[in-house]
Structure 1
């Protein structure tokens, strides 16, 4: 049976290209041997379920343990009804055990117990009856809410001292977040903020991304099966865009081998990776779509909005910083600052935020195209100025992040230009005070430096021209746009103050300064 790059559900070695699942979890086996209770958290679609199932199978096959992985997701609908939540989890445990464990390791009939201790009583009975030590992986534990979540955590803590003969020898809670970020109510601040209901944990682990060599190893499996080669430049480019995020690594490859280049005699190049990346961004497949849903959460917005604006984070709670890292949206850079987790996310985040503005755009005839299909930069400038004067102000209200609303509206306009056959790339980072955009359309490239003039600040023209110089030098260009959004109070209407003037950078490049 042919294998494929999997982007939906856990991987299976007989059906999917996959790396050894336990390679990224070297700390787990010693913790289980030490009878530890611990937390494993990682963002969605990084291979948690695949790794945990493989680990459970390996532990059971060793003959020492009865290890079972199961999901708590069925208990989510119970809300605060902790009795229903426990019943749902116990039902899932029994079904999973029947599927994945030998008959002699199945749980016995669960004894009757008070509603408040159904789960703990059942696990204690199983641990006493089981001929091996019991190891349980509670996956999707953070799907539970309110009293249901607290009930489960407290029963696990209560039984901890009875292990290994009277309670599971090791329990692993698995989910998106560390235990202190488990939600107990709806809303922004409805999370535990403490590990006290499960303060028996000894570690909080996460699952790392693939390395560049592991991406090459994964792609080589397709070459071994089909003969189709991923050139080293394609591996490098895939790793650049994804930084080894497993779902993205698989999604790019799947797009290339199943849609773009189905001829197995044709090698895959960096250019194919870039095309596949654009397709993923336009489609916003399930993983990217679920990621986008997080952007409007206040805890996420407090981090991402200043990052996009290039300004300092300010007084952001440490819990919020950890939460956004746990979601896989950002990471600590090697230099110590915060950055978006990978270049592909760096592209999708502002694109998603600009979606409403893009949907609200009026019809814009492509007056910026010459007869030969290339960009006419003068006409593009005229079209932008006309668009901004007429539609800029009302469209600002469609942007979900106020601090960068002009940036998002400008990007919506440029996406309309790029949709004719180009791409729009972005660069931004905390503390830079800027956002850089690069519009590529066939052989033509337009670089834009975006700055904001706020109350109490001096005109950013001088700094912006110097920064644009560096950006243009990096792209090998001799001209570009410096766009200054004037957000100071008491300014004339946007239509009256929007204008474009020529300017010269410190290095002598001839550029256009747009004040909007």
Structure 2
């Protein structure tokens, strides 16, 4: 073991090694170079949390610059250890945006680098993923992955799922009794969410009228999310025809569920754009859950998005929202439930605060009727 030896004392130096492939490298384990090795492949696993930590440990040892543990933890969460993305973010943090190498790399540095990575910086890995996801027949399949009423089962024999898996768009989630699709990492899911929301809704029209009274939503106490969703519901009803004219649809001609999530996100970005606020999506599970986080006037608000399917699923979503609210450190979280239509008596029945017995978090449901 020569790991701790200086380079000059090592018996062998590996100057460089390139492995080409998103998921695997065909034939790499065949020494002879046989023409019959095409069935063999070397699986390229994601890095573990410990391995990512060691990489930054090596950097700290060589550079003398401290990297806060929270940075490593957040980087691993966003990339799930995908080697190319880990290295890219490492480069952004330690080189590109490392303006003060004499000071530790903190979460403030990570947040800035991450915002740039989401919005402004090219990355060949991400460019390839988006190029695969946006074209048919993959486009329709990827849009289904954003649904919140159920997960998509994974089968390697499905040619589209196989293709998306081999190109790093999706990964798998294993449960006790089945295998499901999940996006390959939260960062990849964010980039795809941003791409589709902008591509589908480059224009959202007027979100408020001139001289409109917004005091029911932007109150002296902060942001009233319930009133904000009511405003969105009215906006959607008023502009639905032109907004959704070219929206992707299922075989039954209904608009894909995710389209409304993209539209709400773009609406919120426009509505809060000039009001000292920030809106961004989070995907805590990689499938079946979409959350929008709003920072407004120094206060954080959590919105968990769901589509109504039945009573049981709705009750489960209350507990799920409460657990996510607790993970955010929030005492109150909003559950925004999309439904085609909801009679007034059912709105009154369901839109009541739910105090979760396990977490103590208050869940405030609000329904958004899409009209079809």
Q: TM exceeds 0.5?
A: yes
Q: Specify which of 329, 333, 339 is matched with residue 173 of structure 2.
A: 333
User: Any residues of structure 2 matched to 1:269-418 within 5 Å, and which?
Assistant: 269-283=106-120, 285-287=122-124, 288-301=126-139, 303-310=141-148, 311-313=150-152, 317-333=157-173, 335=175, 336-364=179-207, 375=223, 377=225, 380-381=228-229, 383-397=231-245, 399-400=247-248, 402-416=256-270
Q: Secondary structure at the match of 2:280?
A: strand
Q: Could you tell me how far 1:504 is from its partner in structure 2?
A: 1.9
Report the Cα distance in structure 1 between the residues aligned to 2:46 and 2:363, rounded to whole angstroms: 43
User: Any residues of structure 2 matched to 1:423-442 within 5 Å, and which?
Assistant: 423-427=279-283, 432=288, 435-441=290-296
Q: Is the 8 A contact 2:151 2:180 kept in 1?
A: no
Q: Does 1:42 align with 2:3?
A: no
Q: Does 1:245 align with 2:90?
A: no
Q: Does 1:503 align with 2:352?
A: yes
Gaps of 5+ in 1: 1-18, 26-39, 56-134, 136-168, 172-197
Q: Is the 8 A contact 1:453 1:485 kept in 2?
A: yes
Report the Cα distance in structure 2 between the residues aligned to 1:425 and 1:301, rounded to whole angstroms: 20
Q: Could you tell me how far 1:502 is from its partner in structure 2?
A: 4.2
Gaps of 5+ in 2: 1-13, 250-255
Q: Is the 8 A contact 1:502 1:510 kept in 2?
A: no
Report the Cα distance in structure 1 between the residues aligned to 2:82 and 2:296, rounded to whole angstroms: 28
Q: Is the 8 A contact 1:438 1:447 kept in 2?
A: yes
The count of corresponding residues between Structure 1 and Structure 2 is 327
Report the Cα distance in structure 2 between the residues aligned to 1:328 and 1:507, rounded to whole angstroms: 37
TM-score if structure 1 supplies the norm length? 0.53
Report the Cα distance in structure 1 between the residues aligned to 2:160 and 2:107, rounded to whole angstroms: 36
Question: What is aligned with 1:474?
Answer: 327
Report the Cα distance in structure 2 between the residues aligned to 1:220 and 1:466, rounded to whole angstroms: 39
> Taking structure 1 as reference, are residues 294 and 442 closer, same or farther at Cα in structure 2, changes over 3 Å only?
farther
Q: Is the 8 A contact 1:465 1:506 kept in 2?
A: no
Q: Is the 8 A contact 2:226 2:366 kept in 1?
A: no
Report the Cα distance in structure 2 between the residues aligned to 1:439 and 1:263, rounded to whole angstroms: 30
Deviations 1:279-334 (A, max 9, x none): 21112523323321222234534653332103243696533322211111222235
Q: Secondary structure at the match of 1:346?
A: helix
Question: What is aligned with 2:33?
Answer: 170
Report the Cα distance in structure 2 between the residues aligned to 1:302 and 1:361, rounded to whole angstroms: 22
Deviations 1:346-398 (A, max 9, x none): 222222111124421225469565689x6454663454344333334532345
Q: Secondary structure at the match of 2:44?
A: coil
Report the Cα distance in structure 2 between the residues aligned to 1:428 and 1:303, rounded to whole angstroms: 21
Report the Cα distance in structure 1 between the residues aligned to 2:279 and 2:56, rounded to whole angstroms: 26
Deviations 1:157-214 (A, max 9, x none): xxxxxxxxxxxx516xxxxxxxxxxxxxxxxxxxxxxxxxx86524122333333344
Report the Cα distance in structure 2 between the residues aligned to 1:461 and 1:210, rounded to whole angstroms: 36
Q: Could you tell me how far 1:250 is from its partner in structure 2?
A: 3.0
Report the Cα distance in structure 2 between the residues aligned to 1:215 and 1:460, rounded to whole angstroms: 37
Report the Cα distance in structure 1 between the residues aligned to 2:328 and 2:364, rounded to whole angstroms: 14
Report the Cα distance in structure 1 between the residues aligned to 2:285 and 2:181, rounded to whole angstroms: 8
Q: Could you tell me how far 1:483 is from its partner in structure 2?
A: 2.4
Q: Secondary structure at the match of 2:295?
A: strand
Q: Specify which of 206, 223, 231 is matched with residue 68 of structure 2.
A: 231
Report the Cα distance in structure 1 between the residues aligned to 2:220 and 2:306, rounded to whole angstroms: 33
Bigger-Rg structure (1/2): 1
Q: Is the 8 A contact 1:356 1:399 kept in 2?
A: no
Q: Is the 8 A contact 2:338 2:368 kept in 1?
A: yes
Question: What is aligned with 1:515?
Answer: 368
Could you say which structure has the higher helix fraction? 1
Q: Could you tell me how far 1:431 is from its partner in structure 2?
A: 7.9
Q: Secondary structure at the match of 2:352?
A: strand
